[in-house]
A = this chain, B = another copy of it.
Amino acid sequence: MPRASRVRTLSGRAPATNRETAMDIPLHALGAWDAARRLARRKLRAEDLLRACLERITARDPALRAFVALRPEAALAEARALDAGPWRGPLHGLPLGVKDVLDTADLPTALGTPIYAGHRPASDAAAVALCRAAGAVVVGKTATTPLATMQPAATLNPHDPARTPGGSSAGSAAAVADGLLPLALGTQTAGSVIRPAAYCGVVGYKPSVGRVPREGAKLQSDTLDTIGGFGRGVRDAALLGAALLGDARLTEAVERAPEAAPRIGLAPTPDWPQADEDTRAAWSLAVARLAPRAPLADAALPEGFDGLVALQKDVMFHEAARSMTFEWEQHRERLGAPLVAMLEAGRAIPPETHVRRLRETLAWRARIDALFEHHDVLLAPSATGEAPGRETTGDPLFCRAWTLLGLPCVHLPVARGRHGLPVGLQLVGRFGEDHRLFAAALWVEAALAG
């Protein structure tokens, strides 16, 4: 894919308040924040923005394969209605992609597996309905790995077609990265938002667990599943977060750059030895840029933190095995060997062990809170390195503990790796304080940009 388009795409997440910059880039690559401001002031028509995205989709998606279903005509009619009507909310007129594990009443919901090919739910998932109520125009469903697990989807990485976009929210991350859409929804049980955001070079946001209703989402783990999404910059993702959480503080937090630097706790985590030289270089670059401007301190992760990755796996595998009982009983031969192996591992965990794991999880969620008395946010790796080849979706290693802890996370692109692919880091916030996380993320984004 031509390098020019990449640069254009990435410029969409640069300082988004610069009106000249925003005017210069093509409509399809306009970030959600800039687009939302122009839409609210009626300087931009939702229909025109949508047409630009649809043209981009027509041009790029036959190769990229980010979408599994589209509704261009219905979306255009909605865009025209929004142009003619009152302002609806933070996503007014913004085209949105929906990961295909979230129910939609007007589009098929196939969960990335032939088991559910052509399935049409009776309602929208609550997360989709919240975005629509905030004015979003759902353009289509984006590719997911089968049942949001690890077998790769057909989507390519827009930066290198031989590489994975990550998973399980593959299509959403790739579509936002390649300028097909300004925003898209994803879900995370291990690292299914943050990891594809890292591999595709966009901002990914996983909210505090329990803040976004999961009605109408295909549940894999009652304890872990969290609905979030993707934008090209921090402000863009904040709009989506404000709609999902029903919390205007997320957009208020990024209205202007925060005056004081956040107290940043450095949390490379006990798995740091698994970070390759690209992630290490991004880490060093970030620390070098942040150190002169912000109070950095090593985060004193509680003893036992090194057991959280195994704990997350146990909780996830056992709950996935139980959540997918219907598919296990009725469609086992269509699940694929890796998923069957994961479900077998989960089924082998006795219920008394799982109860102990649940108790440990809840105790850890309470215990981690004290860390945020010393730090506003934690800086942590998002992935081991650049996106690997398409035979895998990559390793969610660096996301597992934070997902288990239920903490809000924002991935920020930081640099390019040895092969020219995006590498970044995540910021982790205090439970329930997603708005403070966004304020800190905006500050860090600006500091990293220079």
Could you list which residues of chain A lie within 8 angstroms of chain B, going by C-beta atoms? 105, 116, 119, 121-126, 128-130, 132-133, 208, 210-211, 213-216, 218-220, 222-223, 245-247, 249, 319, 322-330, 351-352, 355-356, 358-359, 362-363, 365-366, 431-433
Whether the Cβ atoms of A326 and B126 lie closer than 8 Å is yes
Whether the Cβ atoms of B431 and A329 lie closer than 8 Å is no
A117 nearest CB across to chain B (Å): 10
In the complex, the chain B residue whose C-beta lies closest to that of A356 is B432
Residues of B within 8 A of A246 (CB): 322, 351
- Contacts A122-B119, A432-B358; A133 near B325 (Cβ below 8 A): yes
Given A129-B329, A133-B325, A245-B351, 12 further pairs, Cβ under 8 A: A121-B121, A126-B325, A129-B325, A132-B329, A211-B358, A215-B218, A216-B219, A246-B322, A247-B352, A249-B352, A359-B431, A362-B362
A311 nearest CB across to chain B (Å): 15
Task: Write 19 A-B pairs (CB below 8 A) sorted by A numbering.
Answer: A116-B122, A121-B121, A123-B326, A123-B327, A124-B326, A126-B323, A129-B325, A129-B329, A130-B325, A133-B329, A208-B355, A210-B222, A213-B319, A215-B324, A245-B351, A249-B351, A356-B432, A359-B432, A363-B366
Copies per complex of this chain: 2
Tell me, in angstroms, the Cα distance from A221 to B13 when the chains sit together: 35
Whether the Cβ atoms of B213 and A219 lie closer than 8 Å is yes
Tell me, in angstroms, the Cα distance from A249 to B114 when the chains sit together: 37
In the complex, the chain B residue whose C-beta lies closest to that of A127 is B325
In the complex, the chain B residue whose C-beta lies closest to that of A355 is B432
- Of the candidates B124, B215, B327, the one whose C-beta lies within 8 Å of that of A219 is B215
Tell me, in angstroms, the Cα distance from A433 to B121 when the chains sit together: 36
Residues of B within 8 A of A363 (CB): 366
Tell me, in angstroms, the Cα distance from A219 to B129 when the chains sit together: 14
Tell me, in angstroms, the Cα distance from A103 to B126 when the chains sit together: 17
Tell me, in angstroms, the Cα distance from A124 to B330 when the chains sit together: 10
- Of the candidates B121, B324, B365, the one whose C-beta lies within 8 Å of that of A126 is B324
A92 nearest CB across to chain B (Å): 15
Tell me, in angstroms, the Cα distance from A247 to B351 when the chains sit together: 6
Whether the Cβ atoms of B211 and A355 lie closer than 8 Å is yes
A114 nearest CB across to chain B (Å): 12
Residues of B within 8 A of A214 (CB): 219, 222
Residues of B within 8 A of A213 (CB): 219, 222, 319, 322-323, 325
- Contacts A358-B210, A431-B359; A130 near B322 (Cβ below 8 A): yes
Tell me, in angstroms, the Cα distance from A322 to B218 when the chains sit together: 17
Which residue among A124, A126, A128, A223 has the maximum number of chain B CB atoms within 10 Å of its CB? A126
Residues of B within 8 A of A124 (CB): 326
Which residue among A210, A325, A329, A365 has the maximum number of chain B CB atoms within 10 Å of its CB? A325
A103 nearest CB across to chain B (Å): 9
Residues of B within 8 A of A249 (CB): 351-352
In the complex, the chain B residue whose C-beta lies closest to that of A433 is B355
- Of the candidates B123, B327, B366, the one whose C-beta lies within 8 Å of that of A362 is B366
Residues of B within 8 A of A324 (CB): 126, 215
Tell me, in angstroms, the Cα distance from A330 to B122 when the chains sit together: 12
Tell me, in angstroms, the Cα distance from A327 to B123 when the chains sit together: 8
Residues of B within 8 A of A323 (CB): 126, 213, 215
Tell me, in angstroms, the Cα distance from A218 to B219 when the chains sit together: 12
- Contacts A210-B222, A247-B351, A351-B247; A216 near B326 (Cβ below 8 A): yes
- Of the candidates B105, B126, B219, B327, the one whose C-beta lies within 8 Å of that of A322 is B126
A96 nearest CB across to chain B (Å): 15
A22 nearest CB across to chain B (Å): 29
